Chain A
Amino acid sequence: MIGAAGGLGLIVLGSLLFSPALIGVGAIVELVWLLRSLWTRYGLRGVSYERRLDRTRATIGEEIGLELVVRNRKLLPLPWLSVDDLVTSGASVVGRDFEPSVLPGFVALRTTWTLGWFERVTRRLRIEADRRGVYDFREAHLQVADLFGREKDVEERPLPLRYRVVPRHVPVTGLDVLSAIPGPALAKGGLFEEPTLFAGVRPYQAGDPRRRIHWKATARLGQPVSRRFDPGHDRELLIALDVQTVSGPFWLMQYEDELSEGLCTAAMSLARSLIADGFACGLAANGYSAVPGRGVFLAPGGAPAQVARIADELAGLSRWPSMPFANLLDRLGRRVPRSTAILALTSRPAREVLPVLRRLQRTGRRVRLAGLGPHGPQGLTDARTMGITAAVVRLAPDWRTARALELVG
């Protein structure tokens, strides 16, 4: 500011004294003042910043392409542009370290750029999907610095973007254990008849298709009769996932990471395998998710898109429980139809949940228990003692490298 005033003073003085020298030097001083603040004044004008992901869902171990594009649509080149992308803590970008951020739970991915006039620079980075979760990109902080000054100009631009890292899924072996769990169920009422549920014959009615006529009975009775079927429903199964991995009060919010990821991998693999086999599969868990509430519930569905829905729910599932697993099972007993089978998947000693499972079973519901981790075999023994079918889930050598999920009954 002193320089600007001095330069102006020189120009005025030079004009008064008719001295070109003073005017010239005044012009130089003014030029220097202009140069010192040129970038903080005009640097961010005409600058656009974009962030793109080549996909929004990746399995653990895969990579997602991240494309950062900066455009400078003006004559003034930018020698230094720094962009801080706020992303959920825990994200990982190949070859990049994160800076701390002022926003809790977020870190900053800092990139520095130099742009010429009317230039577009595209930088491609790779996001490592190495930890399950839902990752949000929030606003971007753009910062330009003066070439000669000490000032910086900062601008915040909202650029929301989200990607999910979903659990691995592996082939399931030993499905015979599971195959006994659900089956074609008899519905109490319904419009749709299940062709496999033969229920007898009835007199022929006009309009009955010829294939429906029971020819042998017709011959025996001497009058036309048609087959009759009971109403049925799809084979439905709900995987009830116990998020709690450490015994004790659930509110301690402690967890064992390996077991937690192993449970999610097992749930994902089971769901995918069951849906591929024609089951309608759903998910319930006693953990938090992105949706406010004290649990996760996804109604059973058999469409291929259900796999992606389950994967998304598992991606956003917290590693600590929101309520006791027994409470979740109790709620499910009231919430889901009795025809829906429940598969309880836990890594803790099964003694806590066996009474609830037995109560559900006594109401006519099909329930099964699957135990993962060191307490699995003991849970199998305890469950058999109480008359509940159970299986041990094995991911060998660990959930990261296992090639198959083994069910041992």
Chain B
Amino acid sequence: MRSSWSAEAILQTVAAATLEAAWITLAALTLAWFGGGAEIELGIAPFAVAGVIGLVVARRLARWPRERYAFALTGSVIGVAILGAWLIQVVQGGGAAFIEPANATAWLLGLAVYRGSVHGDPDDEAYVAAWMLSRGLVGVTIFWAVAALSGMTGAPEYATAAFTATLVFVAAALLSMGLARLAELEVEATDRAARRRWVGLLLAVTTLLVLIGIPLSVVLDIPTWDMLGTILGPLAPLVVALFVFMARPIFALADWLAELVGPISRQPDGVPIPTPGASLPPLPPPVPSGGDVGDLTWLAWLVLGAVAVVLLLSAFLFQQRVRRDAASGDEVREAEPISLGRLPRLPRLALPGRPSAPTSAVQAYRMALMSLIGRPEARLAGETPREHARRVRGAEIGARIGRLAVDYQLAALAGRRLSSAEERRAIARWRLISDWARRVRRG
């Protein structure tokens, strides 16, 4: 019999439980801070476990009668709360003999069980996650405003836990919503490969969000390793060990390069050149091989970065995959040429005082008239181009104005198309007229 649990279902369960655990952690921090700044008793992980318990109970007992289901859920809530109170007592060294029933953190564990049960129906997960994210963001906003006003952000332990819980809340909500959308859009029904790509992109975006949070933690003066440890939980040492194991060859390469470059780079500058007859200075102490060669971590990072860029580019540029599927036919994936479109251009600045040149005979005539404004040769109101040309015929520029006026009348009034030579000559006449007007104006 095939199991109904898939990797995506497990991921969705964990995301839903973590989503609830994150905001409950913020609530626990608020209680602890206003309760006198006591030690933080529980982190995200225990609340997430409680959430998973609630979710599993809800899914397994969903078909039970309503009363029995309510009874079982209430029992789970109380049971987990009592168990949590007992564990807190044990961890704090208070002994297991007495369980403090008024421990608020323990009852928050019970709340996590109840909230986990809300995610019992996978069909409603998209709605529940969206609701949680929209309301939760408002809650997070209020929490941080209160935290800043009450001075909680000044306490490193609280700030770290709160920031981590916020980051986890957002990441878990997005992950949960994305996975729920997958089912909502019925991706599997149409294209199975699309499902894998959807999940891949989902994880990439969520990871990116967490990665963006790391530099923010530096701004907030939160210890990054503490934050990552909280996020990754028990997996943190494993991830760090894996990273160290994978980076070992690169560090070895860096050591080798350092040894290669070391003798040259450590050539002492102040070694005097021995002169004949002078006594030799004492030799510098020998450098032990494999000793301190300086901090070359940047080199390792550089190599890592270069390899990553090369791999990314090669995967991108040379990708062409063919998938054959009886249902959906052949599918070929190829890279498209990269084009970033038009880059924004700076506005073209026009030089002041420089009039633009006309491009046609009509424009040339109008601009010529403008250059004559204020002079006796200017065209009078109510004067036709022909009358104007006749009036200024005796002036120095009269003949030119007359020819320009003819061109204007032909092009603008008669609708005749002028040849390029005629247009060119008209523009040359405008230039002569405007130069003459400028010259006369200067005296």
Per a CB cutoff under 8 Å, which of A24, A25, A112 touches B194? A112
Specify the main secondary structure of chain B where it touches its partner. Answer: helix
Give every chain A residue within 8 A of B141 (Cβ-Cβ).
Answer: 6-7, 9-10, 25-26, 29
Residue-wise interface mask of B (168-192) relative to A, using a CB-CB cutoff of 8 A (1 in contact, 0 not):
0010001001100100010100110
Asked whether B76 is an interface residue with its Cβ less than 8 Å from the other chain, the reply is no
Contacts between the two chains (Cβ within 8 Å), count = 168
Is A351 at the interface (CB under 8 A from chain B)?
no
Q: How far is the CB of A9 from chain B (nearest CB, A)?
A: 7
Residue of A with least CB distance to B221: A20
B339 to chain A, nearest CB (A): 6
Q: Once the chains bind, are A111 and B190 in contact (CB under 8 Å)?
A: yes
- For residue B303, CB closer than 8 A to chain A, the reply is no
Decide yes or no whether B338 CB sits under 8 A from chain A: yes
How many Å lie between the Cα of A24 and that of B167 in the bound state?
A: 11
Give the CA-CA distance A17 to B148 in the complex, in Å: 8
Tell yes or no: B220 within 8 A of A by CB.
yes
- B442 located at the interface, meaning its Cβ lies under 8 Å from any Cβ of chain A in the complex: no
In the bound complex, residues from chain A placing their C-beta under 8 Å from that of B337 are 118
B223, chain A: closest CB distance, angstroms: 14
If the complex has contacts A79-B197, A95-B329, are A119 and B335 also in contact, measured as CB distance less than 8 A?
yes
CB distance B329 to A124 under 8 Å? yes
**A28-B213, A77-B201 known; A147 vs B181 contact (CB < 8 Å):** yes
Interface contact A119-B336, CB-CB below 8 Å: yes
- Write out the residue numbers on chain B whose beta carbons fall within 8 Å of the beta carbon of A123: 328-332
Chain A CB within 8 A of B326 CB? yes
* Beta-carbon contact of B335 and A25 below 8 Å: no
> CA of A115 to CA of B144 in the docked complex: distance in angstroms?
38
Q: Chain A residues near B330 (CB, 8 Å)?
A: 122-124
Closest Cβ of chain A to B186, distance in Å, is 9
- Does B10 count as interface, using CB distance less than 8 angstroms? no
Query: Taking the nearest CB of chain A, how far is it from the CB of B296, in angstroms?
Result: 32
Select from chain A the residue with minimum beta-carbon distance to B198. A79
Q: Given A21-B220, A25-B163, answer yes or no on A73-B336 (Cβ-Cβ < 8 Å).
A: yes
State how many angstroms separate the Cβ of A76 from the closest Cβ of chain B: 10
Shortest CB–CB separation between residue A94 and chain B, in angstroms? 8
Q: How far is the CB of B85 from chain A (nearest CB, A)?
A: 31
Instruction: Give A19's nearest chain B residue, CB to CB.
Output: B148
Contact in complex: A22, B126 (CB < 8 Å): no
Q: Is the CB of A72 within 8 A of B329?
A: no
Q: Is B134 within 8 A of A147, CB to CB?
A: no
Q: Which of B136-185 contact A (CB under 8 A)?
A: 137-138, 140-141, 144-145, 147-149, 153, 159, 163, 166-167, 170, 174, 177-178, 181, 185
A120 touching B334 by the CB < 8 A rule? yes
Most buried by A among B130, B329, B330: B329
Query: Do A148 and B177 have beta carbons less than 8 Å apart?
Result: yes
Of B209, B216, B331, the residue contacting A121 (CB under 8 A) is B331
Give A26 to B174 CA distance when docked, in angstroms.
17
A114 adjacent to B181 (CB under 8 Å): no
A residues with a Cβ closer than 8 A to B are 2-3, 6-7, 9-10, 13-14, 17, 19-29, 31-32, 35, 71-73, 77, 79-80, 82, 94-96, 110-114, 116-126, 145-150
The 6 closest A-B pairs by CB, nearest first: A6-B141, A3-B137, A114-B197, A112-B190, A24-B216, A21-B153
Task: Other than A79-B198, A123-B328, give 20 A-B pairs with Cβ distance below 8 A.
Answer: A3-B137, A6-B141, A7-B141, A10-B144, A13-B148, A23-B219, A24-B216, A25-B140, A26-B141, A32-B170, A32-B174, A94-B329, A95-B327, A119-B333, A120-B334, A122-B332, A125-B328, A148-B174, A149-B130, A150-B130
Q: Can you list 13 contacts pairing A with B, beta carbon distance less than 8 Å? A: A6-B140, A7-B141, A19-B148, A24-B220, A28-B213, A29-B137, A35-B209, A79-B194, A110-B190, A112-B187, A121-B332, A145-B185, A150-B181
